[in-house]
Amino acid sequence: MPQETNYSNPVFTSPCKNIRGLKSLVSNNEASLYTEEIFNDFELAHRKAEEAAARRYQAAEWLRRMDYGATETLPKEPSEEEFRLALRNGLILCNVLNKVNPGAVLKVVENPIIAVQATEGAAQSAIQYFENMRNFLVAVKDMQLLTFEASDMEKGGSSNKVVDCILCLKGYYEWKQAGGIGVWRYGGTVKITSFPTRSSSLVGSESADDSFDESESSQYEQLLEFLHLSNEISIEESKTANALAFLFDRFGLRLLQAYLRESNGIEEFPLNAMVIDTLLSKVVKDFSAMLVSQGSQLGLFLKKVLKGEVGSLSKSDFMEAISQYLGRKASLVPGDFSKDCICGGKREILQHAISPSPDHADQIDRLQKQLQELKLRYQETKGEVRQIQLNWEEELGRLEHYIKNLEVASSSYQKVLEENRVLYNQVQDLKGTIRVYCRVRPFLPGQSNGQSTIDYIGENGNIMVANPFKQGKDARKMFLFNKVFGPKVSQEQIYIDTQPLIRSVLDGFNVCIFAYGQTGSGKTYTMSGPDLTTEETWGVNYRALRDLFQLSKTKVDFIRYEVGVQMIEIYNEQVRDLLVSDGSNRRYPFSNFTFHEHL
Ligand SMILES: Nc1ncnc2c1ncn2[C@@H]1O[C@H](COP(=O)(O)OP(=O)(O)OP(=O)(O)O)[C@@H](O)[C@H]1O
Angle (CA) 134-89-85 rounded to 5° is 130
Looking at the structure, tell me whether residues 116 and 49 fall in a common domain: yes
Residue 486: partners with Cβ closer than 8 Å, 6 or more residues away: 440, 457
The answer to whether the CB of 519 is under 6 A from ligand 1 is yes
Residue 48: partners with Cβ closer than 8 Å, 6 or more residues away: none
Task: Report the side by side order of strands in the sheet with 476-480.
Answer: 454-457, 462-466, 476-480
Average pLDDT, the chain: 74
Residue 531: DSSP 8-state: -
Decide if 421 is inside a domain.
Answer: no
pLDDT of residue 222: 64
Per-residue pLDDT at 68 exceeds 50: yes
How far apart, in whole angstroms, are the C-alpha atoms of residue 94 and residue 137? 9
How far apart, in whole angstroms, are the C-alpha atoms of residue 217 and residue 204? 15
How far apart, in whole angstroms, are the C-alpha atoms of residue 313 and residue 319? 10
Per-residue pLDDT at 501 exceeds 60: yes
Looking at the structure, tell me whether residues 166 and 99 fall in a common domain: yes
Residue 545 CA to ligand 1 centre (angstroms): 21
pLDDT of residue 207: 37
Looking at the structure, tell me whether residues 278 and 361 fall in a common domain: yes
Decide: 578 and 569 in contact? Cβ < 8 Å. yes
Report residue 251's pLDDT band, with 50, 70 and 90 as the boundaries. confident
Per-residue pLDDT at 240 exceeds 60: yes
Which atom of ligand 1 is nearest to 515's Cα?
Answer: 21
Decide if 268 is inside a domain.
Answer: yes
Q: Please report, for the domain that includes residue 63, its CATH number.
A: 1.10.418.10
- Ligand 1 pocket mutation, candidates 454, 484, 524, 570, criterion most atoms within 8 A of CB: 524
Report residue 59's pLDDT band, with 50, 70 and 90 as the boundaries. very high
Beta strands in 36-152 (DSSP E): none
Residue 528 CA to ligand 1 centre (angstroms): 10
Looking at the structure, tell me whether residues 369 and 439 fall in a common domain: no
- CA distance to 246, 316, 329, 332, per residue, from 359 (Å): 26, 22, 10, 11
Decide if 411 is inside a domain.
Answer: no
How far apart, in whole angstroms, are the C-alpha atoms of residue 239 and residue 402? 56
How far apart, in whole angstroms, are the C-alpha atoms of residue 245 and residue 175? 13
Decide if 579 is inside a domain.
Answer: no
Looking at the structure, tell me whether residues 168 and 284 fall in a common domain: no
The answer to whether the CB of 521 is under 6 A from ligand 1 is yes
Residue 464 CA to ligand 1 centre (angstroms): 22
pLDDT of residue 402: 92
The pLDDT > 70 percentage for the chain reads 70
Looking at the structure, tell me whether residues 107 and 170 fall in a common domain: yes
- The answer to the question of whether 107 is labelled as a binding residue is no
Report residue 508's pLDDT band, with 50, 70 and 90 as the boundaries. confident
Looking at the structure, tell me whether residues 351 and 295 fall in a common domain: yes
Helix axes 80-87, 159-177, angle to 10 degrees: 70
| For residues 504-516, average pLDDT | 85
Looking at the structure, tell me whether residues 379 and 437 fall in a common domain: no
- CA distance to 113, 130, 155, 172, per residue, from 135 (Å): 17, 8, 21, 19
| For residues 433-455, average pLDDT | 85
Decide if 368 is inside a domain.
Answer: yes
Query: Ligand 1, atom 23: nearest CA belongs to which residue?
Result: 520
How far apart, in whole angstroms, are the C-alpha atoms of residue 241 and residue 337? 12
Residue 526 CA to ligand 1 centre (angstroms): 8
Looking at the structure, tell me whether residues 103 and 47 fall in a common domain: yes
| For residues 581-585, average pLDDT | 67
Report residue 257's pLDDT band, with 50, 70 and 90 as the boundaries. confident
Of 124, 151, 177, the domain-final residue: 177
pLDDT in tens, 144-191: 888 888 888 887 777 888 998 898 888 888 878 877 765 555 543 333
The most confident of 234-243, 345-354, 537-546, by mean pLDDT? 537-546
pLDDT in tens, 9-57: 333 333 334 444 444 444 444 444 555 555 666 677 778 888 888 889 9
Decide if 15 is inside a domain.
Answer: no
This model of the complex carries an ipTM of: 0.98
* Domain range for 291: 249-331+343-393
14: closest CA among 41, 36, 42?
42
If one counts every other C-beta atom within 10 angstroms of the C-beta of residue 238, the result is 19
Per-residue pLDDT at 526 exceeds 60: yes
pLDDT of residue 84: 87
pLDDT of residue 161: 86
How far apart, in whole angstroms, are the C-alpha atoms of residue 93 and residue 105? 10
pLDDT of residue 200: 34
- Ligand 1 pocket mutation, candidates 485, 525, 536, criterion most atoms within 8 A of CB: 525
The structural domain count of the chain equals 3
Between 253-257, 286-290, 399-403, the lowest mean confidence (pLDDT) is in 253-257
Looking at the structure, tell me whether residues 375 and 485 fall in a common domain: no
Decide if 451 is inside a domain.
Answer: yes
Decide if 212 is inside a domain.
Answer: no
pLDDT of residue 520: 92
Mapping DSSP to helix (H, G, I), strand (E, B) and coil, where does residue 478 land? strand
Looking at the structure, tell me whether residues 449 and 357 fall in a common domain: no
If one counts every other C-beta atom within 10 angstroms of the C-beta of residue 211, the result is 8
Residue 439 CA to ligand 1 centre (angstroms): 11
321: closest CA among 302, 342, 344, 343?
302
Whole-model pTM? 0.37
How far apart, in whole angstroms, are the C-alpha atoms of residue 286 and residue 280? 10
**Residues for the chain: how many in total?**
599
pLDDT in tens, 319-375: 777 777 777 776 665 554 444 433 333 334 334 444 456 677 777 888 888 888 888
Looking at the structure, tell me whether residues 356 and 458 fall in a common domain: no
Decide: 567 and 554 in contact? Cβ < 8 Å. no
pLDDT of residue 426: 80
Per-residue pLDDT at 311 exceeds 90: no
Angle (CA) 21-25-28 rounded to 5° is 135
Per-residue pLDDT at 514 exceeds 80: yes
Residue 79: which H helix or E strand, with range? none
Of 472, 489, 506, the domain-final residue: 489
How far apart, in whole angstroms, are the C-alpha atoms of residue 585 and residue 551? 33
Per-residue pLDDT at 494 exceeds 90: yes
The answer to whether the CB of 523 is under 6 A from ligand 1 is yes
